[in-house]
Amino acid sequence: MRPEVAFRLFSWALRFRTGEIQNLNTTVSQTRSIKVETDRESYPIYIGSGLGEQLKAELWSLREKGARLAAFIDSKVLASHGDWVSENLGGASVYEVPSGETSKNLERFADAMDFLASENLDRGGVAIAVGGGVVGDLTGFAAASYLRGIRFIQVPTTLLSMVDSSVGGKTGVNISAGKNLVGAFHQPISVYADIAMLDTLSHREFISGMAEVIKYGLISDAAFFEKLERKPLTRPQDPRMAEVVEHNCLIKAAVVKADEKEKAFTGGRAILNLGHTFGHAIENVAGYGDYLHGEAIAIGMVAAARLSSELGYIPQEDVERTKAAFDAHGLPTELKESLPMADLMGAMYKDKKVAAGKLRFVVMERIGKAITQGNIDTSLIEKIWKTVGVGG
């Protein structure tokens, strides 16, 4: 990690601890900007309200340099923000992506590639993703694959995509065997997280994104987690919103800088997947779309906390604190109905963290620090599954 990145993260954590950012009672209107750096490239994340003019200026600059533009937009976003799209996307042709996880598949990917070809994008072209994680992952994978790689811009419109999926260059689609098993690492050239977009989310969609926000406290910042415990963040108009998005993006940027392609065998970028081995299995077995991603991951993180306790890392008190934080934000902490144990275990073995045929999990060494661990007995995993509502 670069010294200035480490210092900025330390300074942020210190500000939380000393109370400098204690109540966050005033809405900050200015645009915030942070930089994501990898070994080969860097790009800005802009965070604020009303970023359309800034995005439009970048797109017109690209067009003046000869770039053809093509946009992929979530159908709900297009319905809610049609005027914004027509005013700020620089005349880009639009491909409407049906809303929901079921659009993140190989068939839709093939359609996306055909769309880019029909719009005559060459290697100087730019794809624009406007939507949540589904649209961002689909667009990014299409951009990584078309002509072996073109540029793309992320315009995340959900909380989950602002704090997680739009940052770090993971792109891909789901297949029947599992979530995100086909994809590529492909970094965007810029990210525009317009907080005003969150106002049109349903309550369920907004709260789903809070699962990933809480995750950052569990894996990296105990003080941040404690603030969410004391005062849950349950609406997009909360004056803390821009600060929270920036805080989460800073943490993820530092992790991505240190381990962009998740090659570290222990720790590294894998810690961002706390609860995801459980959660992805739930999504796969229940059928994509039955649980929103954040809902499945919330259940998965409660399971991961219990696993952490069983392994001797955290006390039962911290398991209860973890569960209570998700409860306080209106997120599920157990299954709506039981799912087959054999199917869940089978889905886990398709997880990307499997090494040499063995499961690896992200667990909490303590609240605020996560590690990876393998060689966990299958019977213990089945025991954990039962605690979140899986029948015998």
Active site residues: 148, 170, 212, 252, 262, 269, 273, 276, 280, 293
On whether the CB atoms of residues 306 and 387 are closer than 8 A, the answer is yes
In 3D, which of 307, 298, 310 has the Cα closest to residue 361?
307
On whether the CB atoms of residues 216 and 250 are closer than 8 A, the answer is no
353: exposed, middle or buried (C-beta count within 10 Å: 0-12, 13-18, 19+)? Answer: middle
Hey, is 371 helix, strand or coil? Answer: strand
Contacts of residue 8, Cβ cutoff 8 Å, sequence gap at least 6: 250
Hey, is 304 helix, strand or coil? Answer: helix
**Element holding 109 (H helix, E strand):** helix 106-118
In what side-by-side order are the strands of the sheet with 42-48?
Answer: 32-37, 42-48, 190-194, 151-156, 126-131, 69-74, 93-97
> How many Cβ atoms sit within 10 Å of the Cβ of residue 85?
18
The CA distance from 249 to 188, in Å, is 14
**Residue 286 φ/ψ, nearest 5 degrees:** -70, -25
Residues facing 371 on adjacent strands:
363
